Amino acid sequence: MAEPMLALPIVETIIGVIGLTGNAIVVIVICKVKFMHTKTNAFICNQAVVDFLGSLFLIVTSALPVPDPLPDNSGYQIVCLFWLSEFFLWACYTSSTYNLVFLTCERYVAIVYPFKYVTLYTRKSIVGMVAIVWLLGLILEGAYSVMTNRFENGQCFRSTSVSAQVLSIVIIVVHFLIPAIFMLFSYSHMAVELKRSANRVGAVAPTVSAYSAPGNGEGEERPENAEQSLLRARRNVFRTLLLVFITFLVCWTPMQIIFFVTSVGLRLYHTTAIYITSLSLVGISSCTNPFIYAFKYKQFQRGFLFLIGRPIQAEDTPGN
């Protein structure tokens, strides 16, 4: 039982270093490349910043030793509430989840209600949404930490009272279940709307290029019009973020099930392989997005190539 626990800090450190590196690259590309300055990328950049900090706290919390028992004084009560409870780490994870919700909502409005998008998503409103993302992480995890963590006789532990169990279930619903259901509905509806748009655009014959010679049109590739280009870009962003959402579900569901099981009073040792695997998956969720962008997000690929001085195709750079 002890062997998996000994390996956990090493695994978390590796995951954290990958997360730091990947998310830093995402932030640099979006901030440095001008055509990456879009509303969608503002949320993606914030996601990378949150995940960068989450990866940093993952490394620090796994590397710093904890005295056992702790000195029994008021200072260590604060240490228990806000450090040993891994408050900062889980606040980043919570903010990351809600940033993904806001990012999904941004894409949902752009695809399903495009005429409302310009008025709803202004620079000021996006700044407000980003602020809400950070506040949600701090407030939700802060309240949960203060109300459930206890410090007695030099030991920092989580309360098993009925009120703490009820609050834990509420946290599962607010932190995971509601966001997951909302995003599942949103991506399902977006998929239907994109299919309708594809059918509508496909029904309109594309413009033939002016230099096409009579009689030679069958084998020639017809250029895209503006609507086709926009649809293709939106579909690429949709597929990228859908993969991000699926990764979120895969990485977070096992831990939420374990959290629910322990919240209702069933005992699960923290040294078991299943617990450690589920905890590692949560950490992995903070470092996978940069790889998804690198392999699936066309605009990010062009932004990265532009940043390192490689030639890029002119098409599609505006993007969303």
Residue 166 corresponds to which amino acid?
Answer: V
**Is 132 buried (19+), middle (13-18) or exposed (0-12) by CB count in 10 A?**
middle
The predicted pLDDT at position 4 comes to 55
* pLDDT for residue 190 is more than 60: yes
Q: Residue 20: name the closest of 289, 260, 277, 215 by CA.
A: 289
Regarding predicted confidence, which is higher, 218 or 308? 308
Contacts of 6 (CB under 8 A, 6+ apart): none
- Give the pLDDT confidence of 39-50 residue by residue, as tens digits: 999 999 999 999
Q: How far apart are CA 118 and CA 216, in angstroms?
A: 42
Percent of the chain past pLDDT 70, that is, above it, reads 84
* pLDDT for residue 245 is more than 80: yes
Regarding predicted confidence, which is higher, 288 or 159? 288
The predicted pLDDT at position 312 comes to 66
- The segment with the largest mean pLDDT, out of 75-79, 94-98, 204-208, 312-316, is 94-98
The predicted pLDDT at position 130 comes to 97
Confidence of residue 224 (pLDDT cuts 50, 70, 90): low
SS (H, E, C) the chain: CHHHHHHHHHHHHHHHHHHHHHHHHHHHHHHHCHHHCCHHHHHHHHHHHHHHHHHHHHHHHHHCCCCCCCCCCHHHHHHHHHHHCCHHHHHHHHHHHHHHHHHHHHHHHHHHCHHHHHHHCCHHHHHHHHHHHHHHHHHHHHHHHHHHEEEECCEEEECCCHHHHHHHHHHHHHHHHHHHHHHHHHHHHHHHHHHHHHHHHHCCCCCCCCCCCCCCCCCCCCCCCHHHHHHHHHHHHHHHHHHHHHHHHHHHHHHHHHHHHHHCCCCCCCCCHHHHHHHHHHHHCCCCHHHHHHHHCHHHHHHHHHHCCCCCCCCCCCCC
Percent of the chain past pLDDT 90, that is, above it, reads 50
- Distances in whole angstroms, Cα of residue 29 to Cα of each of 48, 57, 240, 314: 11, 23, 17, 17
